[in-house]
Structure 1
Amino acid sequence: MSGDLSNNPFAALFGSVKEAEQFSKSYKDELQPLSEIKSVERDKSSCCGRDDCSRRSGTETSLLESLLMLTTNPNGPHPAPRVLMDDSEGILDLQSFPQVLFERLLLESPSNNVVGAGSQSEVEDAGQSHAVVYLFNCYARCCAQDTPQCSVIKAVQSAVVTNLGTAVEQPEVYFGQNIEQQLKDILLRDLPTDYYTQDLLNKLTQHLQEQESPRSPTFDQVLVEVTSRLSEASLMTLDYQLINILDYYSLNPFLATCLTKRPDETNQDRSGRGYQNTPLGSLLSVSCLPKHLGQNYHFFQNPTKQQASDIKATENSIWMAQNTLNNRLHKFFRNLLKVSSEGRSGLLSWVEGCLEANSGRAGLWQVHGQVQGTMYVCDGFMVNLGAVMLQLAQPFTQEPKSPKILKIDHRYCKSPSSSTGTNGGVEGAYTGDLGKQTCLVPPPEGEEDSMLQETPDQYSFISSCFFLTHRALHLGVQVVCQKLYKMEQEVGRLRHQYQEIVASGTATQLVRQQMENTMESRTTQLFSLKAAIFEPNTSDNLLQFMATSAEWMVQCALRFHPDAEPASEAPQKLLEVKVPLPPDEVSHPALQCIPEFLVENLTETIKATRRYNAQIFDFGTGSQALPHLMSFIVVFMGSPGRMNNPHLRAHLAEILEILLPNNESSIGMMAGVREQLFTSHSASPHIVTAIIHVFVTIEVSAQAVAFEEKFNYRKPMYEIMKYLWGVPVHQERYKELASEALANMESAKPPLFLKFVNVLINDAIFLLGEGLDYMMQIKKLLKERDDGEWDTLTPEQKREKESSVHHTTLLARFHNMMGTSTIRTLIRLTKEMPQMFTHPTLVDRMAAMLNYFLAHLVGPKRRDLKVNDMDKYEFRPSEMVKDICTIYTHLGSDDAFCLAISQDGRSYSAKLFQQAHDVLCRVGGGGLAGDILELQGKVEAASQANQEVEDLATEAPEEFLDPIMSHLMTDPVTLPSSQIVCDRSTIARHLLSDQTDPFNRAPLTMEEVLSNTELKDKINQWLIQKKAERQKMESEMT
């Protein structure tokens, strides 16, 4: 074979003969080690005659001709089509074939040089003009041989890899050929299923890595095409061959990082939405939900016209397909984590960037969809990301009590990201904007940066996976849950409107059809959202993850327990929850680093599961999670020092209500398991204190929540307290708290139970009062309708009136139900601990409240409340009268209470109890009726005994009268800041709700008020003097 290239036609591809010679020399040098190996192998073969491969194929030359489909022999015979290499000299052997192969690749029209007979396909294969296709075919022929390990085949395979590497690195050598397109077409067509293609690509990428060659743009172009096709795919039409391509990339160290390029690295859309257009994002976006704003939903068409079994069958089909996809996603992500350190960091950086770019989703469930549709990834994307992250977290979340959870570092979210490119980043930290999130407790003022002073040198994958999973759930599943709630409410509202329109007979057929279409559309969305987030395996994983999260946060909160390891040491063992709990006043560095959204995820998950998938709590994963939820609730719910946000602690009460044994979702043996939670759990003795604490603290001082919102929060609390009262050990705890309160009524910090009772009275006054007002409004509206006043209204005005009735009905129902719950709670408490309610601090307000509502229910005003079908409004005045009279009888043995009743000038009258007696007799309260008449006698006696003092008070100097209540003071005190004098009972009542001086708003506690003994003595002396003067006057008159 000639080394002179001056007459070689292929030299024209280079700028000069010298350049061609330099390229040829470098190419030969690259092949030299291969040639030397082949020489040794050939020598070894010669020692033994012919190796097995040569014997089977005839000769070395014939095997090379067969594999490469070329020949240097112009004379033949040729048993099959071959390309004749005219310019090649000598015999085709292991020494010469690499150069011949290279020259074959440079032929412009090899089909013109085909010799030998064969089929049409064989002729086409031999004359293949596309260099890359030809090389892949050569490699496939090598792999198809019976003895693929023989020296000739291995030599050809190596030469194919080398030449393919040259084509990829220097495509300009092959003039007139589109090397990139050829490679792209082969990879898209054969990579998913063809082992030979996969094997050759493995060797090619290994070769390129060894050569430290830059990655060809072709590999990225393949992903662009895959991404484009996946973006058009649906859950049921997904081409899994495309996923096979992604799988291959994820297993190849040289290609894996192609998958994890962020939009900002590829000049794509840099908004959160841009992540949906990446290879990973295109696959994550496949779900039963639309990918883009305005797209149609593909499942649950015309749901109101389908049988429940059809709906369930569709749901099961979605779940089966989604589970298959989730498993492939998990495999895919796991491959990237294991393929190389670059693959792992690339994937975690991609997830970090995606979550940060889409952080705005957290507050957008209530905003118009157009904003979300243009700025952030779709719901299906983020739900699927959460599902795959849950699977990755399985090794350390399957068992919540596993010591593995102690490897989760609470400092993670406050550490700078390793992806920032600055020296300040901590290796293994993929924190994005996690450090900006509100945490469970704020750091002490001035110490905001102290938590960053001690960070580890590196974070484990467990920490990264844990917090990134939570963030993905917060932006995905939680957002979709909120949309699901909202959609359910909207569907209910539409159904009500439709029923009203149909009943009124005022709607045209067109209007009815439009409303029916809207209801169908919204119901389709409702079922689709539900199917997207409740795939069974994902639901199990989610509950396991939340149980583990609860247990981990409990461990963090218990670090100040006396049995805990020193703070300077890494935790080595799990701590048990014990009562009493460790103090929560101590600044807790761990809880200052844990974002609130972890708790939001937990509460929203449990509430959504209870609402749409309640049966899961009775079996398997759901039932196993309950003890960990109980630990978390008891440790955090009543502790502002561990969880500063009162809304979050109130949500924990909702979760506790779900755990109640009498919850409708608990059945059979499971009810017994739940009872043990409330009696045998190590933290159960603290439940009463915790629920009372959260009941009170959602209202008082700086932690107050919206006025109306607190009643929604307290609704489940009433159910919890009702249940706990029926458990003897918990009822005793109520009594203990009451005794502690009675012993400390005037302490600087008002006792918890005193504040609790005060809040109950406040609630009863508001809720019962509002309920009565709404009933009067309803009566007025219905009377207008029944009297025909609506007949002259326009259809629109009528609809407004109907809407007003409906809205007022809802408000009346809510306030009546909540008012009844409050009164029933007061019944239980006044029976067992009446001293709390007859204490001077509370007795006047208690009596005034009972008098006010009894007067409305039994007096002349009761006619303003009477409407038809009162159960529709949860309004049961007869039961309310019985309940209020029961409370009267519980407190009636106390003289101070009887006196307080008679002193209420607003509602009390001499007729009140007689009217109550008459009503009780009519509604079946005969036993109570007698008790009420007996109470009336006590009240009249107390009133007569106090009348003398009241008469004297009219003559009292102004300095003897309480400036707020205008009554004669019995125990005057001086307020230290304003120096105003008032009665002790008056200021005590005020300070229950507001810890300030009512006259100048300065901070104030009961321990700070000063007894004014001098004034008290003057009042007492004045009373003695006045009584003596009156007695003297009376004696003189007689």
Structure 2
Amino acid sequence: MSNPFLILSDSSSTSTNPYSTASSKVVSIDNDSSSSSSSTTNIYKDILEDVLLCTIDEQPSSSLIYLAELAIELPENFDKNFIDQALFERLHMIDPSSQLLTSITKKSTIRNDINMITENRCIHYLVGCYQRLLRQRNHFKLVFEDIRKLFIDHTKTAISLPDLYDGQDLSKQWLELLIDGQENPLLYEYIDCINNDFLSEITDEIENLYNSVFRYIYKMIQPLDYFSTELITYIGVLKYLAKWPALVRIIFRLSHPKTTSNRSIQHPFGQSGGGRAFEDTLIGSLLSKSCLPSLPGKPYLFFEKPKVMTEHDVDLTSKTMWQPMRTYQQNLSDLFLAFVKNGDVRNDILKWIGDCLIENRGKNKEWSSHNPLTAYLYVSDGFLLNLNFILLNFARPFSEPYSPKLLKINPIYAISQNENVHLKDLYKDTPMIVRDEENIDEKNNTITFNFITEIFFMSHLSYSCSVQRLHRKLLKINEELSHVQHAYNDATRLHGANDENVQRLEEAMEKGLTAFLNIKTVLNEPRLLELSNALFTASCSWLVHLASLSDQVENEEVIQKIKQLPLISKPNRQLSYIPEFIIENITDFLTFLGRFNVQLFESLSSVDEYVTLVLVFMGDASRLRNPHLRAALAEAFEAILPNKQHGGGRTLNSAFAEAIFTYHPLIEDLPRVLLDVFVSIELTGQAVAFEQKFNYRRPMYEILEYLWKFDKHREQVKKLASYAEEHIDDAEAPLFLRFINLLMNDANFLLDEALS
């Protein structure tokens, strides 16, 4: 039999030459002697020799460890106590190989089994005995349960009293068993027995054991990359242990910066604090594994020589990036799913996620992108991207447009200030409409929120901190590349390609292009886009549902589609609970697709939900107060226009856009809402520069030009013009009249700028 723990051997193992008389007690024996008996005495003797691999006979029939003390006090009858004494003596041998009785005529057996026979690591020896017993269950069926329990009890004793095995690292041995158990069900059966007994009421001893095990895992995963199979093995260990709530609590307590001191990584500016501290923990270390660099100055892993790459090379490299990235993120999602399946510890996990997101929100602020030191204050982009993927997976079961599960989302969560909210301070975010703080009693009520509500808001916040931030970073790199390109072209023309400054600019351009392609590829990962689209289309239908409710209605039993615009009822107050970043996420997703993946639009099954959201909110300041955000909806809507070159030089199929502009049930309201948001930009109440206003209106011009091709939309514009003509003397100027005035102002300004 080969040694099942040979791969687990460490420095504490003893390996002895089976033919050397210097280190072993070698006895030459006659191997032809054998005995067989069905008596209980012989069963126990068989257990001693075949399971414990020991003997009290100086001339055994095979190579075994000689138990000298037990041989002196030989009992009259072999029984369970006899095996117990034998086990105790064998476990406390300092050097089992020195008591090895071996056979000269069975060299091959000795060569294969020597390590197993002389195993001196307590846990490994006991689990070896356990496996040998299970493999001979039928032979030992009369005493099987008694002996099996004996091995379990001795293991529990070792864990409870580790000082009995001084010099042995029991936690390391336990981790080695956990790793091997993924390919050996017998090991997991053994571990299950120990854990089920110990973890029903956790003791200091078992907690100390697992504290050490998890710290070992933390230490071992530090140098591993996200594509490492060894890393997946450690995730498998944690996923197996997740079925015990007590262990999940230990994992997340060790992974919370406020409750642990196990961080060993030192950063250039001292020990990390704030949000970054979450990365220097067990769970944080797993989340931080990514193809994106964890700190400034570290290299990107792909697209090293982008200038010589063809479009085919870029596509091939993208697929090469996506495969291990998707595999690793799915493993992380499966691990977290195993964690949250434990209802008893779900709050611990949500609290950790909530605290982590709140501590790292500052990374998404505009100022953070200009300060390189923020990289040491917050977790890495890869960390947040992985966490976002996990949360999007959690949200998938309710991420369907008009799903009844969406009605379980409680908007009060976003303004609640009680201890049951795991995303603290959301109430400080700017809401979609003005909130009447004095008349909201619910914010201080002790409400327990369901899992769907928590995940909905966490998914949106994590997207805002991860994908949305990376999109902004991508645009910034793109802008910088454009400037460097112009500088490079000018310098080359003036000084030639061999000039030192020209070469420096070329290196900067290549470095920037490498970063651009890496980030763009990560954001275009198909599964990420699929999960994001699912959440956002569901969010669109839920937000439109809230917008359609009258002022006093809190909820309805079903989510119904809006059949007519404009909405004439007073806005529902629940819109004043919802933070603006949910709408921002949706517009960011659409504008990203418009810039970098326009072809995906044609494959989306739920584009109508996006269009409905735009039509409901873009022209209704009573339901979305921020005119800049409503202008952003226009920019997002522009992404579906055909004949417009997008990222990669691709254009959208005109039939796709024509179908939307023709058949969407609410599309006839597009001219009205478009003119409304066009005019409202002028009434921001802020000193907004003309250039910024024009940038807001630019996509609106594109949409107006395109919709003019459709008879139904021209008729709507003519109706607005006729109404303006009839009410030209009203105290409040009609919408179309205000639009024409601003349009002329824009034209005059641009003409003046061009002439000057």
Q: What's the TM-score once normalised by structure 1's chain length?
A: 0.63
- Which amino acid counterpart does residue 612 of structure 1 have in structure 2? F
Q: Does the Cα contact within 8 Å between 2:627 and 2:677 map onto a contact in 1?
A: yes
Aligned ranges 1:284-683 → 2 under 5 Å:
284-338=287-341, 340-364=342-366, 367-368=369-370, 370-397=372-399, 399-416=400-417, 424-426=418-420, 429-444=421-436, 446-447=438-439, 449-452=440-443, 457-505=447-495, 509-560=499-550, 567-568=553-554, 570-583=555-568, 586=570, 588-619=572-603, 622=604, 624-663=605-644, 671-683=654-666
Alignment partner of 2:202 out of 205, 212, 216: 212
Q: Which residue of 2 aligns with 1:966?
A: none
8 Å contact 1:64–1:92 — kept in the other structure? no
1:722 is aligned to 705
How far the C-alpha of 1:315 sits from its partner, in A, is 1.1
Q: Structure 1 residues 112, 290: CA separation in 2 closer, same or farther (over 3 Å shift)? A: same
C-alpha distance in structure 2 between counterparts of 1:57 and 1:89, whole Å: 13
Aligned partners of 1:412 and 1:463 also within 8 Å: yes
Confirm or deny: 8 A CA contact 1:67 1:142 kept in the other structure.
Answer: yes
Give the Cα–Cα distance (whole angstroms) in 2 for the partners of residues 53 and 266 of structure 1. 58
The alpha-carbon deviation at position 411 of structure 1 amounts to: 1.5
| Structure 2 equivalent of residue 768 of structure 1 | 751
Q: 1:754 aligns with which of 726, 737, 740?
A: 737
Partner of 2:25: none
CA-CA distance at 1:698 after TM superposition: 0.9
Over the residues paired in the alignment, what is the CA RMSD in angstroms?
2.9
The letter of the residue matching 2:619 is: G
For residues 986-1006 of structure 1, give each alpha carbon's deviation from its aligned partner in whole angstroms, at most 9, with x where no partner exists.
xxxxxxxxxxxxxxxxxxxxx
State the shift of 1:482 in Å.
0.6
Distance 1:593 1:704, change over 3 A: farther
Distance 2:118 2:413 in 1: 61
In the comparison of the two structures, how many residue pairs are matched? Answer: 698
Deviation digits for residues 344-396 of structure 1 (CA, Å, limit 9, x no counterpart)? 22221221111011010111576335222101111111112112221221111
CA drift at 1:184: 4.2
Give distance in 2, aligned partners of 1:353 and 1:53.
Answer: 66
Indicate whether 1:274 and 2:277 are aligned: yes
Taking the aligned partners of 2:139 and 2:277, their CA distance within structure 1 comes to 46
Distance between the aligned counterparts of 1:587 and 1:616, measured in 2? 34
Partner of residue 183, structure 2: 193
Give the drift of 1:670. 5.6
Partner in structure 1 of residue 106 of structure 2: none
> How big is the shift at 1:547?
1.1
Alpha-carbon distance, 1:146 to partner: 6.0
The residue identity in structure 1 corresponding to 2:561 is E
- Corresponding letter in the other structure for 1:567: V
What is the distance in 2 between the residues matched to 1:122 and 1:160? 21
> How far is 1:109 from its partner?
3.7
User: Cα gap change, 1:148/1:757 in structure 2, threshold over 3 Å: closer, same or farther?
Assistant: farther
CA contact (8 A) 2:53 2:65 kept: yes
Quote the Cα distance in structure 1 between the aligned partners of 2:408 and 2:140: 48
Contact 1:439 1:596 (8 Å CA) reproduced: yes
1:144 to 117, 135, 140: 135
Counterpart in 2 of 1:104? 90
Name whichever of 195-204 and 139-148 sits farther off: 139-148
Supply the distance in 2 between the matched residues of 1:56 and 1:334 (Cα, whole angstroms). 49
Match of 1:70 among 26, 51, 54: 54
Question: Is 2:229 the counterpart of 1:246?
Answer: no
Distance (Å, rounded) in 2 between the aligned partners of 1:275 and 1:148: 53
Distance, in Å, in 2 between the alignment partners of 1:371 and 1:229 is: 28
Question: What SS does the corresponding residue of 1:82 show, helix, strand or coil?
Answer: strand
Q: Is the 8 A contact 1:654 1:717 kept in 2?
A: yes
Is the contact made by 1:646 and 1:704 (CA closer than 8 Å) also made in structure 2? no
* 2:257 is aligned with 1:263: yes
Provide Cα deviations, 1:176-198, integer angstroms capped at 9, x if missing partner: 544334434544x5244333332
1:180 aligns with 2:171: yes
SS at match of 1:355: helix
User: How far did 1:714 drift?
Assistant: 0.4
- The alignment partner of 2:565 has SS state of coil
**How far apart in 1 are the matches of 2:238 and 2:139?**
28
- Same amino acid, percent of matched pairs: 30
TM normalised by structure 2 equals 0.86
- Summarize the alignment of residues 766-915 of structure 1 with structure 2, pairs less than 5 Å apart: 766-773=749-756
Listed as ranges, the gaps of 5+ residues in structure 2 are 1-35, 104-108, 264-271
- 1:826 aligns with none
Q: Which amino acid aligns with 1:286?
A: K
On the 8 A contact 1:293/1:369 being kept in 2, the answer is no
For residues 4-23 of structure 1, the aligned pairs below 5 Å read none
Is residue 685–residue 730 contact of structure 1 (8 Å, CA) maintained in 2? Answer: yes
Higher RCO (CA-CA < 8 Å; seq separation 6+): 2
Who is 1:129 aligned against?
Answer: 120
8 Å CA contact 1:132, 1:182 repeated in 2:
yes
How has the CA–CA distance of structure 1 residues 345 and 444 changed in structure 2, closer, same or farther, with 3 Å as cutoff?
A: closer
In structure 1, how many angstroms separate the alpha carbons of the residues matched to 2:192 and 2:37?
A: 25
Aligned partners of 1:365 and 1:614: how far apart in 2?
30
Task: Give the Cα separation in 2 of the matches to 1:168 and 1:482.
Answer: 52
Q: 1:985-1024 residue pairs with structure 2 within 5 A?
A: none
Aligned partners of 1:224 and 1:253: how far apart in 2? 18
Distance across 2 between alignment mates of 1:694 and 1:56: 92
Counterpart residue number, 1:79: 62
Tell whether the 8 Å contact from 1:364 to 1:372 is kept in structure 2 after alignment.
Answer: no
Which piece of structure 1 moves more, 165-174 or 745-754?
745-754
After superposition, give the CA deviation of every residue in 1:573-596 in whole Å (9 maximum; x if it has no partner). 112212233236x35321111111
Partner SS for 2:199: helix
State the Cα deviation string for residues 283-311 of structure 1 (Å, max 9, x = none).
22222211222211121111102232222
Looking at CA atoms only, which structure, 1 or 2, has the larger radius of gyration? 1
Verify the 8 A CA contact 1:192 1:242 in the aligned structure 2. Answer: no
Describe the SS at the equivalent of 2:411: coil
CA distance in 2, matches of 1:229, 1:369: 32
Counterpart position of 1:990: none
Q: Aligned partner of 1:93: which letter?
A: D
Question: How many angstroms apart in 2 are the aligned matches of 1:375 and 1:668?
Answer: 41
Unpaired stretches in structure 1, ≥5 consecutive residues: 1-51, 417-423, 774-1038
Q: For residue 524 of structure 1, report the CA deviation from its aligned partner.
A: 0.7
CA offsets per residue over residues 853-876 of structure 1, 9 Å max, x none?
Answer: xxxxxxxxxxxxxxxxxxxxxxxx
Question: Do 1:657 and 1:720's aligned partners in 2 also have CA atoms closer than 8 Å?
Answer: yes
Change (3 A) 1:325 1:640: same
What CA distance in whole angstroms lies between the structure 2 residues aligned with 1:656 and 1:180?
58
Q: Post-superposition shift, 1:85?
A: 5.2
Q: Is the 8 A contact 2:588 2:636 kept in 1?
A: no
Distance 1:393 1:367 in 2: 29
How far is the alpha carbon of 1:243 from its aligned partner? 2.4
